[in-house]
Amino acid sequence: MSPTLTPPLPPPRWPVLIVDDEPEVHEVTRMLLSDVRFCGQPVELYSAYSAQAARAYLREHPETALILPDVVMETDDAGLHLIHAIRTIWATKTRRSAAHRPTRPGAGA
Amino acid sequence: MIRAKRNYRAWVANETLEDYALRYAAKSYRKWSPLLLANTALGGISFLALEAIGGAITISYGFYNAFIAIVLVSLIIFLTNLPIAYYAGKYHIDMDLLTRGAGFGYIGSTITSLIYASFTFIFFALEAAIMAQALELYFDLPLVLGYVLSSLVIIPITFFGVTLINRLQIWTQPLWVVLFVLPFVCVFLKNPAILAQWAAFGGKTGHGAGFDMLAFGAATGVLFALVVQIGEQVDYLRFLPERHTTKQRRWWWALIAAGPGWIALGGLKILAGSLLAFIGVEAGVSFADAIEPIHMYIKAYEFVFDDDQWVLGFATLFVVLSQVKINVTNAYAGSLAWSNFFARLAHYHPGRVVWLVFNVIIALLLMLLGIFETLEAVLSIYSIVAIAWIGAIVADLTVLKPLGVSPPYIEFKRAHLYNINPVGCGAMLIASLLAISAYAGEFGETAKVYAAFLSLLTAFACAVLLGVLTQGRYYIARQSLLPPRANTSDTLRCIVCEQHYEFEDMAQCPFYDGPICSLCCSLDNHCHDICKTPERYQAVAPFRSAPSLNQRTFQPNLARRLGWFLGLFSIVAIAAGIFFLLSYRLLEADPGPGTNLADIFLRLYLGALALIAIGVWWITLAHESRELAESELVNSLHYLEMTRQELVQSEKMASLGGLVAGVAHEINTPVGIMVSAASFLRDQSEAVRGQLGAGQLTPQAWEAFLNRAEDSARLLLSNANRTAALVQSFKQVAVDRVSDERRTFNLRDYIGETLTSLKPKLKRSRLSVTVDCPPDIQIDGYPGPLAQILTNFIMNSLMHGYDEHQIGAIRISARRTGDDGLELRYADDGKGIPRAIQGKIFEPFFTTQRSRGGSGLGLHLVYNIVTRQLNGTISVESEAGQGAAFVLRLPLRQSAPVELSDSTAGASADD
């Protein structure tokens, strides 16, 4: 089967999910991305406040284009597990996730 | 120095049995009324040796000489006993503790303890023999069985100390008084002329009707032995209540009646004995039987009853009752004296009750050996030494204290006393030697009979002289390092046995670095009295963890070994010499036919010397090897302590590392938000500037920019505030955690700050923490340790209390208790701690989670911090499945002298 050469039509807005347990992170991200356009389309931002909530959301909304997860949430590596799950279970060609927060597990002495 | 907790046997820790045998009698224990104690102390006066002495001196020296001697000696005994009773009652210490402070020094009074203990068992034997005699007469009980019975019956009564003795004396006193007075009333009613006949009695020779210097002197010599009775009186009088808390007149009445006043009653009993002996002699009883108390009272009761069985029955009842009452006191005083003797000689104290049994068994052995004559010979030597002892104490109390040579109070603690004070020891030695020489006839016949007088006067004079010469320099070795207390009924916790004792019983110990109770101090083997040599103590101050290393390095040294050997050998050789000489004197009185006794004894003595030399050499070597073993042990302990400190230090750093990581994470988020918001604001500003330059800035774009700038500023401000607050609380907690500085802080705020620092850990669990603390509790003390405790508790709950993602609630509550106490309660509702391991959770290295990295130090360090550093207590309440609660009781104002060392400060975060 030959690959389809014509890209699918972009949706009117790119659905983007922010996953973080800090409400202010959501707020500042919304502000930063308010003017961003990709392929001429603006982004639509959705919020999940824990890795668990993100999983639930993604099950309902497999069309999500971009996921911006935090690493340290319920546990030191909740974000990493989330990314792993996204890549192995829900991976599609059109969607990739990125860990955009440089926070690392730090409190686990 | 590392402290191994000393666990006393149950009967040493239980003061109902122990009766503060080696201690200051605690206020909390002295709950009896003065009159009850006076009754108990006077209960001992029932002893029939008084009658026997009265009878004996009357028959030997005639009524006239005996009477004057009785009156005069009673007066002297009253006067010498008064100051002793006063100081014992005021400072609540027994005879031995009093001797230490009154001129003899800590070790100096060991010898007086031994003499006093010997007195008690010799008298015990003599009194029990009188009782056995009565039992034999009435019940036909064989003497040997009588000895056993009359000894063993005393043990259970004396076992429970003054508590039970009080009861015995109060119940038996009325009966005893009636039994004592009744026969004399009948004697005077039936034969009023007896007094005149008695007064004219000239003794067995009939020459004693007039005054005779020698007869009078000999009579005083016998009577003076009674001066030591004050020791038994004050062993009870130390339990008197505080003078200002009770009615002054009652206190004084009890003190005088039961202290020196014993001789008023005692004197009457001596006279009674004199009268009864006279009645016996008149009735044709032999001189030897007339001075036996049982025969005396049989004669007395013949005036009351006509029937022989009644007479014998009542006389027996009276004798048995009297002897039980006195021998309880003898046994009690003996048990105290032995405790004191062995605690210092061997640093060993198995409990007063053990010495009680020991004392009674020695007395029983003496009785079974049947050596009553030997006992009386020994007693007369002993009484000379004992009189010198009392003379030296009285000189200290009545002359040296008012002069200011001796300190105004009585110090009894090893920590503060010199081992030997020449004032009392020297005076007693000189007076004893002089008086014993006089007694042996060295200075003629007159000096011989007045040996007791000589002993008393010489000891008194020498003590005063030595006190003035030494200017009292050997009384107090060092001042107390404990800070003065406003409230003297506060208790302090002994750092060694971890029991609480009153302030008067405690000293500050530089060796163990904390307050120590007088008993633990007495029994310590390792410190070598380092506290009394300040230069040594200061020299090792930087190495306080093991000062003993620097002060006793062991080198087998020939000169030292030889010195040890020769010193010990001479002591034992002299003691054996005295023993042989005494045996020789006793046998010489009844020489066998044709034997050269002196020659045989000399040969025996020389043979014994060879054996003694071998034994002493063996002891010397054994002592050396014990010293070597001990120094090795102290070294090992030192290294163990260093290792433990290093471990604790590394735990502390690990815990601090965790804290820093938590801080980093917690601050990272607001800082990230601020960086994003600031860079967004910059980008937007540049965009707007560009539009403005190009003249393209529309009102809509301007409006949008302003909205975004406002949002950015709001985010920047709120996150900057958040960062500042985090830094503030972290800074305080981190500084407290490592510095252990003392300050005044608000408890609720501080709990809040501590919880903030734990937020990263708590956030990821599903545990909620509620704090229930009044806002106005201020603590003057050490906040760092408190934060450490809370951290350890919370980490324990997280690690042990809940499964992953289990929902739970932790509750921290605080409330005041009393004026200056605080109760802090930490409770979770997790799995709880099984009862089986509750006793172990505070032990070091105990953990149920070794495989998950538990060190087993967390709760151990909590325990150390609470009990040693914060001076509080901790207890645990838990049932499996119902959560665990820790209850801490802390003072709001932590006492200043509590030394803080690394060993108690740091802690791991887990258990």
User: What pLDDT, on the 0 to 100 scale, is given for residue A24?
Assistant: 86
User: What pLDDT, on the 0 to 100 scale, is given for residue B895?
Assistant: 60
Least CB–CB distance from B669: residue in A25, A74, A109:
A25
pLDDT over 90 percentage in chain B: 24
Least CB–CB distance from B680: residue in A32, A74, A108:
A32
Contact A28 B676 (CB under 8 A): yes
Q: CB-based burial of residue B804 (10 Å sphere; 0-12 exposed, 13-18 middle, 19+ buried)?
A: exposed
Distance CA A35, CA A47 (A): 18
ipTM for the complex shown: 0.77
Nearest CA to CA, how far is A12 from chain B (Å)? 23
B618-672, pLDDT tens digit by residue? 888 888 888 888 878 887 887 887 777 777 667 666 666 766 776 777 788 889 8
User: What pLDDT, on the 0 to 100 scale, is given for residue B465?
Assistant: 95
Distance CA B526, CA B627 (A): 10
User: What pLDDT, on the 0 to 100 scale, is given for residue B593?
Assistant: 55
| A43 interface with B at CB cutoff 8 Å | no
Q: How confident is the model at residue B100 (pLDDT cuts 50, 70, 90)?
A: very high
B147-181, pLDDT tens digit by residue? 999 999 999 988 888 888 888 888 999 999 999 99
B207-266, pLDDT tens digit by residue? 666 788 888 888 888 888 888 889 888 888 888 888 776 678 888 888 898 889 999 999
Q: CA separation (Å) from B272 to B209, B330, B750, B814?
A: 18, 22, 78, 70
| B271 interface with A at CB cutoff 8 Å | no
B254-283, pLDDT tens digit by residue? 889 888 999 999 999 999 999 999 999 988
User: What pLDDT, on the 0 to 100 scale, is given for residue B348?
Assistant: 77
What are the chain A neighbours of B734 within 8 Å (beta carbons)?
none
CA B180 to chain centre: 39
DSSP state of B227: G
Least CB–CB distance from A32: residue in B664, B676, B764:
B676
What are the chain B neighbours of A34 within 8 Å (beta carbons)?
708
B775-792, pLDDT tens digit by residue? 888 888 888 888 888 888
Weakest mean pLDDT among B43-47, B366-370, B442-446, B649-653? B649-653
Mean pLDDT for all residues in chain B: 83
What are the chain B neighbours of A102 within 8 Å (beta carbons)?
672
Distance CA B296, CA B293 (A): 5
Q: From B757, which residue of chain A is nearest by alpha-carbon distance?
A: A107
* The pLDDT of residue B483 is above 60: yes
Tokens of B25: 């009698």
User: What pLDDT, on the 0 to 100 scale, is given for residue B428?
Assistant: 94
Nearest CA to CA, how far is A56 from chain B (Å)? 18
Output B892 or B150, whichever has higher pLDDT.
B150
Output B70 or B481, whichever has higher pLDDT.
B70
pLDDT over 70 percentage in chain B: 88
Nearest CA to CA, how far is B790 from chain A (Å)? 17
| B854 interface with A at CB cutoff 8 Å | no
Terminal Cα-to-Cα distance of chain B (whole angstroms): 25
For residues A21, A24, A30 and A31, what is the CA-based torsion angle, rounded to 10 degrees?
Answer: -160
Q: Find which of B668, B686, B706 to mutate to test the A interface (most A CBs within 10 Å of its CB).
A: B668
Q: From A20, which residue of chain B is nearest by alpha-carbon distance?
A: B669
The set of residues, in sequence order, having a beta carbon less than 8 Å from that of B173 and lying 6+ positions away, is B39, B43
Q: Are B837 and B795 in contact (CB under 8 A)?
A: no
Strand, coil or helix: B813: strand
User: What pLDDT, on the 0 to 100 scale, is given for residue B537?
Assistant: 52
CA B521 to chain centre: 9
DSSP state of A95: B
User: What pLDDT, on the 0 to 100 scale, is given for residue B316?
Assistant: 92
What are the chain A neighbours of B763 within 8 Å (beta carbons)?
21
A33-60, pLDDT tens digit by residue? 888 888 888 889 999 998 889 999 988 8
* The pLDDT of residue B517 is above 50: yes
Least CB–CB distance from A24: residue in B657, B668, B719:
B719
| A74 interface with B at CB cutoff 8 Å | yes
Q: CB-based burial of residue B848 (10 Å sphere; 0-12 exposed, 13-18 middle, 19+ buried)?
A: middle
Q: From A101, which residue of chain B is nearest by alpha-carbon distance?
A: B672
User: What pLDDT, on the 0 to 100 scale, is given for residue B680?
Assistant: 92
What is the identity of the amino acid at A65? A
* The pLDDT of residue B556 is above 60: no
- A18-54: b or e for each residue (b if 16 or more CB lie within 10 Å)? bbbbbebbbbbbebbbeeeeeeeeebebbbbbbbeeb
A53-97, pLDDT tens digit by residue? 999 998 888 888 888 988 877 777 888 888 888 887 766 544 555
Mean pLDDT of B469-497: 80
Q: How confident is the model at residue B559 (pLDDT cuts 50, 70, 90)?
A: confident
The set of residues, in sequence order, having a beta carbon less than 8 Å from that of B271 and lying 6+ positions away, is B54, B67, B70
Distance CA B512, CA B868 (A): 12
Mean pLDDT of B898-903: 40
Nearest to B342 by CA among B328, B354, B332: B354
**Could you write out the three-class secondary structure of A33-81?**
HCCCEECCEEEEEEEECCHHHHHHHHHHCCCCCEEEECCCCCCCCHHHH
User: What pLDDT, on the 0 to 100 scale, is given for residue B463?
Assistant: 95
User: What pLDDT, on the 0 to 100 scale, is given for residue B881?
Assistant: 80
Residue with tokens 């207590």: B873
Tokens of B56: 């004996």
Residue with tokens 């110990």: B509
Nearest CA to CA, how far is B162 from chain A (Å)? 59
Q: Are B315 and B298 in contact (CB under 8 A)?
A: yes
Contact A31 B708 (CB under 8 A): yes
| B677 interface with A at CB cutoff 8 Å | yes
> For B589-697, where are the alpha helices, taking DSSP H only?
597-693
Least CB–CB distance from A106: residue in B655, B661, B718:
B661
* The pLDDT of residue B896 is above 70: no
| B204 interface with A at CB cutoff 8 Å | no
B173-194, pLDDT tens digit by residue? 999 999 999 999 999 898 888 8
Distance CA B314, CA B91 (A): 42
* The pLDDT of residue B900 is above 60: no
User: What pLDDT, on the 0 to 100 scale, is given for residue B86?
Assistant: 93
Q: From B712, which residue of chain A is nearest by alpha-carbon distance?
A: A28
| B718 interface with A at CB cutoff 8 Å | yes
| B701 interface with A at CB cutoff 8 Å | no
Q: Find which of B680, B714, B718 to mutate to test the A interface (most A CBs within 10 Å of its CB).
A: B680
Contact B664 A106 (CB under 8 A): yes
Weakest mean pLDDT among B9-13, B83-87, B554-558, B841-845? B554-558
Q: Are B468 and B405 in contact (CB under 8 A)?
A: yes
Contact A24 B665 (CB under 8 A): no
pTM: 0.64
User: What pLDDT, on the 0 to 100 scale, is given for residue B856?
Assistant: 66
B416-455, pLDDT tens digit by residue? 999 899 999 999 999 999 998 898 888 888 888 899 999 9
What is the identity of the amino acid at B56? A
What are the chain A neighbours of B673 within 8 Å (beta carbons)?
22, 24-25, 28
Weakest mean pLDDT among B93-97, B560-564, B896-900? B896-900
Mean pLDDT of B830-849: 77
User: What pLDDT, on the 0 to 100 scale, is given for residue B104?
Assistant: 93
Least CB–CB distance from B764: residue in A29, A32, A75:
A75
User: What pLDDT, on the 0 to 100 scale, is given for residue B545?
Assistant: 40
User: What pLDDT, on the 0 to 100 scale, is given for residue B899?
Assistant: 41
| A23 interface with B at CB cutoff 8 Å | no
Q: From B677, which residue of chain A is nearest by alpha-carbon distance?
A: A28
| B668 interface with A at CB cutoff 8 Å | yes
